[in-house]
Structure 1
Amino acid sequence: MTEPRIDRLRSSTAPVSDDDILDLYTVADRSSAWLRVNFISSVDGAATSSGLSGDLGTAADRRVFDLLRRLCDVVIVGAGTVRAEGYGPMRLDEEAVDWRRSHGLTAQPVFAIVSSSLDLDPASPIFTDAPVRPIVVTVDAAPAARRAELADVADVLIAGSNAVDPMSMRRQLAERGLHQMHCEGGPRFFADLIRDNAVDELCLTISSVLEGPGAPRIVSGQAFDARRAFYVAHVLTAEDTLLLRYLRNESPLR
């Protein structure tokens, strides 16, 4: 049997610029639906530190996190993660806005919040201070009164009967011209995306800490039979941080 090739990871002679990073993560065909998921994990697989993913973050992770938002048409986040991580209005800085405009994109990406229960406050700054009208992705079974309240401050998409259907969500967002989808969690929603084979790409930062037992993984929920093959598109390093990009094996980029 042929031995698998193993190579050492070597640093380049010069650090990569923001433009280099943007090029590395750019999807060539922006006209087709593409769903990227972004997470951070400790070395031993924890998705949070002290209950928050942000507490695992490093300066390099934040830099790439911000650059990935430049590239997308819509940022998708589960409502539980919005509450836990203290999300505010989705607003990029002036440099990012200028970059997007110079590349033919809208000034700001759309913020899409996924919630089956609609446990969201219509008076929250997420809605009232948003630079672009947000989207709420929900289900037929969601409370009608709350759906009507949120419809005053956001576009409400119905994607499923009792649980959000990721493929229906993808289709409806793409129909709005929001083809480049960037999902920032949380773990339960990631499980739904995996189950329905809705993930094209995973960007995973490995933070060089050990958190020990008890913390959740980047995916959680009821077990199901799923095995999805991905390959490593690139690996970036920044001191002790690894920044990994995985693409689905049947990806047209390969």
Structure 2
Amino acid sequence: MASTAHGLAPINRIFPEPVSAATDEQLLQWYGGVPRPGSWVRFNFVSSLDGAATLEGQSGRLGNAVDQHVFQLLRRLGDVILVGAGTVRAEGYGGDLLGAEARKWRASRGKPEHPAVAIVSGSLDLDPGSAFFSEAPVRPLLFTSAAADPARRKELAAVADVVDAGRERVEAAGIVHALAERGLQQIHCEGGPTLLGSFEAAGLVDELCLTVSPLLVGGSGTRIARSGGGYPPQRLRLVQALESDSMLLLRYIADRPAPAGSPAELG
């Protein structure tokens, strides 16, 4: 099997126009285009063929080197990386989330070397001494609700900027508004299912990048979104499909009209 310069299996675009063995520059260009200005919420998830969002409790076990490579490329594009507390605990987040090449790429385009990092936790059930906080290259944002425990809030305020994004519970609209106030409009969300479910319920998912892993894993694992339901389905439109070693990397955007003057096509 042929490989890329990174030693990976070739990444081939099969939709819209076929392109064989895409380069990183092409991938960044394709993913970098969004159809309107302002806040843009992108979620990135992986799922097995039979719908599981995790394998042995971790989403990363469903992917492969290609999926991880594209995952890292997407991080370059965001103003902020947003993640739920459960995902931080399960996936072992900590330290620098971007490598040296990615930081150089961002700096060359006038971006901060490190995107902002934000975590969402209504309960504030987080360890302030964990690597996520102690090894963070930039001081994290921590989104919670006004009803959160004051003692936990005080403890975590020593290692993060604690921001209320709702009264009784954390609200997706409050998160987007607070990030926009800080000039953080390109929001790259990495899970987990509860976070995606809350954004779905609020109608604030602009884009879903979904990797379909060629695995049947069985079990009773969760789906990529978890919520109480009760909201109308949201239609998304397929704008890109990549394939590599039987792995599909799909890009969908919300099927709603863009404001007048916005580009009609994605790059």
Structure 2 residue aligned with 1:181: 187
TM-score norm. by structure 2 comes to 0.88
1:192-211 equivalent positions in 2, closer than 5 A: 192-211=198-217
Q: Contact conserved, 2:165 with 2:175, CA < 8 A, in 1?
A: yes
SS in 2 for 1:40: strand
SS in 2 for 1:66: helix
Residue 156 (1) aligns with residue 133 (2): no
Structure 2 residue aligned with 1:127: 133
Q: Contact conserved, 1:90 with 1:110, CA < 8 A, in 2?
A: no
Once residues 241 and 34 of structure 2 are traced to their aligned partners in structure 1, the CA distance between those partners, rounded to angstroms, is 19
RMSD: 1.7
Range with greater deviation from structure 2 (22-31 or 226-235): 22-31
Match of 1:248 among 234, 254, 260: 254
Where does structure 2 lack aligned partners over 5 or more consecutive residues? 1-13
Task: Count residues in correspondence.
Answer: 246
Once residues 247 and 154 of structure 1 are traced to their aligned partners in structure 2, the CA distance between those partners, rounded to angstroms, is 32
Structure 2 residue aligned with 1:147: 153
Structure 1 residue aligned with 2:70: 64
Q: Contact conserved, 1:42 with 1:206, CA < 8 A, in 2?
A: yes
Report percent identity of matched pairs: 47
Shift in CA distance, 172/231, structure 1 to aligned 2, threshold 3 Å: same
Deviations 1:162-214 (A, max 9, x none): 21110111011011011110111111111110000111000000000111241
Shift in CA distance, 126/30, structure 1 to aligned 2, threshold 3 Å: farther
Deviations 1:113-159 (A, max 9, x none): 10001011112221122111100000011111111121121111100
Deviations 1:83-120 (A, max 9, x none): 11111134311100000011111100111010001011
Structure 2 residue aligned with 1:77: 83
Q: 1:222 Cα shift?
A: 2.0
Q: Contact conserved, 2:93 with 2:131, CA < 8 A, in 1?
A: no
SS in 2 for 1:136: strand
Once residues 50 and 146 of structure 1 are traced to their aligned partners in structure 2, the CA distance between those partners, rounded to angstroms, is 30
Residue 216 (1) aligns with residue 216 (2): no
Q: Contact conserved, 1:194 with 1:226, CA < 8 A, in 2?
A: no
